[in-house]
A = this chain, B = another copy of it.
Amino acid sequence: MRLSSISLVLFSSILAAAPADLILSAGRVITMDAQRRIIDNGAVAIAKGRILAVGPRAEIDKHYQAPKRIDRPDAILTPGLINTHTHAPMSLLRGIADDLDLQDWLRKFIFPAEARNVNEEFVRAGTRLAVLEMMLGGTTTYTDMYYFEQAIGDETRKAGMRAVLGQTIIGFPAPDYKTPEDSLAGAEKFIATFKNDPLITPAVAPHAVYTNSTETLKAARALANKHSVPFIIHVSETQQENIDFGMKHDRLTPTMYLESIGALEGRTLFAHMVWARTDDLVVLQRHKVGVSHCPSSNMKLSSGISNVPGMLALNLAVGLGTDGPAGSNNDLDLFEEMDLASKLAKVNTMDPKSMPAKTVFEMATILGAQALGMEKEIGSLEPGKRADLITLSLNSPHAWPAHDPYSMLVFSLKSCDVQDVVIEGKITVENKRPLTLNPVEIRRQAAAIRVKVDVSLK
């Protein structure tokens, strides 16, 4: 014992510390690794965008040195959060239409506002606003489905944010492309632009089964598989969707139909999946389809309550999504979605043990990564993974006293507690200050575009 301790000391004093680009330390590190290790006084060493090592601060400091470090003894350090479903540029439509009947909301407000306003400039400004809000709130990866996805990718990359971006394919004229054929061709160009990008994962995103023909859905699947990118689609968000679809398709559910046409052969993410039958869930299990659970949206739009505990019992990969911030939600805050996901399941099952804090934090991190097919790259703090992580200040009274860390993360801490954000090894937010985006400019642009939205509604 004694000899080996001495030789270890000799060994480490002889060896120079290895170089890293960045070291972060915190009072507590929540790794979300396979053992769900929690390290008090922990640290993470980062180089070339990836995690070199995670461990006790004393060990990391002995073995690594870096030109830049962030030390937060009074903070929790966790993997960055993963938003598995949104429509980022809709941030500019935030608050234009709430508390409305679903059809009025879409047909009198959202669709006209989009038809009159959504162009590349709008999409760029809305993306910058959404990415700023998400980054400041601890999101390091987001998943999008919208129009002009090329511009969204460009703005997201410039901001240093990670994203899975799905170019929308829809069976009626959209702001960017007028036909499904054009949007499929556009999606292929978009994929070519971002293929092998370290931050952007391009995807093909047919809107839904009821807005696309079988032919288009098959073509979208083929395109996704040709380039090994995800296929993302809204499925069974409302009961009406299932009823209407079943009437036209011999009582098939949207899920069974997608399976029957081969659309689940490959990496797939379903958004919402509120009205799922158990046999639908078994289909998802068979094809390893990921699910994005969006509790705020499902509640606010009265869509219904998704059977998430059932999905988790079947080992489905279920992540959390905010959905778009205009009507279906009015912010992009995964701390709110975590809190809601747990509370909604508890009141729905009438079981307070349902969806405990740890499970919900898994959904916001490693399970969300798995839902996107990216669990080898992101979602936990492990050597070799991409360096996406956040620190959360414990400097507010709602964080005192500190008992269970998962309870804190899910039920007490808030997006405004996020102190630092690192994505792909780069600091994008330091001590609550965004480093890659200009809030003053973003706000000015949002205000300018708002006027056009308001006028268009009169």
Q: Which residues of A contact B (CB under 8 A)?
A: 91-92, 94-96, 98-102, 105, 129, 132-133, 136-137, 296, 298-305, 329-333, 336, 339-340, 342-344, 346-347, 349-357, 396-398, 400-404, 407-408, 411-412, 414-416, 439, 442-443, 446-447, 449-450, 453-454
Q: A98-B356, A300-B347, A300-B411 are in contact. List 11 more A-B contacts (CB 8 A).
A: A92-B401, A95-B402, A129-B397, A133-B398, A301-B346, A304-B350, A329-B411, A330-B398, A344-B347, A400-B447, A414-B416
The answer to whether B401 touches A449, judged by C-beta atoms less than 8 angstroms apart, is yes
Summarize A's interface: helix, strand, loop or mixed. helix
What would 24 A/B residue contacts be, using CB atoms closer than 8 Å?
Answer: A94-B401, A94-B403, A95-B411, A95-B412, A98-B356, A98-B404, A99-B352, A99-B357, A99-B407, A296-B343, A300-B342, A300-B346, A301-B352, A302-B350, A303-B347, A305-B347, A329-B411, A331-B412, A333-B414, A340-B340, A398-B415, A402-B450, A414-B414, A414-B416
The answer to whether B340 touches A412, judged by C-beta atoms less than 8 angstroms apart, is no
Q: In the complex, what residues of B have CB within 8 A of residue A296's CB?
A: 343
Select from chain B the residue with minimum beta-carbon distance to A305: B347
Alpha-carbon separation in the docked complex, A251 to B140 (Å)? 55
The answer to whether B411 touches A98, judged by C-beta atoms less than 8 angstroms apart, is yes
Please pick, from B137, B300, B397, B402, the residue contacting A132 in the complex, using a CB distance under 8 A: B397
- Number of copies of this kind of chain in the complex: 2
Select from chain B the residue with minimum beta-carbon distance to A92: B401
The answer to whether B439 touches A397, judged by C-beta atoms less than 8 angstroms apart, is yes
Select from chain B the residue with minimum beta-carbon distance to A354: B302
A26 to chain B, nearest CB (A): 17
Select from chain B the residue with minimum beta-carbon distance to A408: B95
Select from chain B the residue with minimum beta-carbon distance to A105: B352
The answer to whether A443 touches B407, judged by C-beta atoms less than 8 angstroms apart, is no
Alpha-carbon separation in the docked complex, A403 to B305 (Å)? 28
Select from chain B the residue with minimum beta-carbon distance to A450: B401
Contacts A347-B304, A416-B414 known; A400 to B353 CB distance under 8 Å? no
Select from chain B the residue with minimum beta-carbon distance to A135: B397
The answer to whether B412 touches A299, judged by C-beta atoms less than 8 angstroms apart, is no
Question: Which of A304, A342, A414, A450 lies at the interface centre, i.e. has the most chain B CB atoms within 10 A of its CB?
Answer: A414
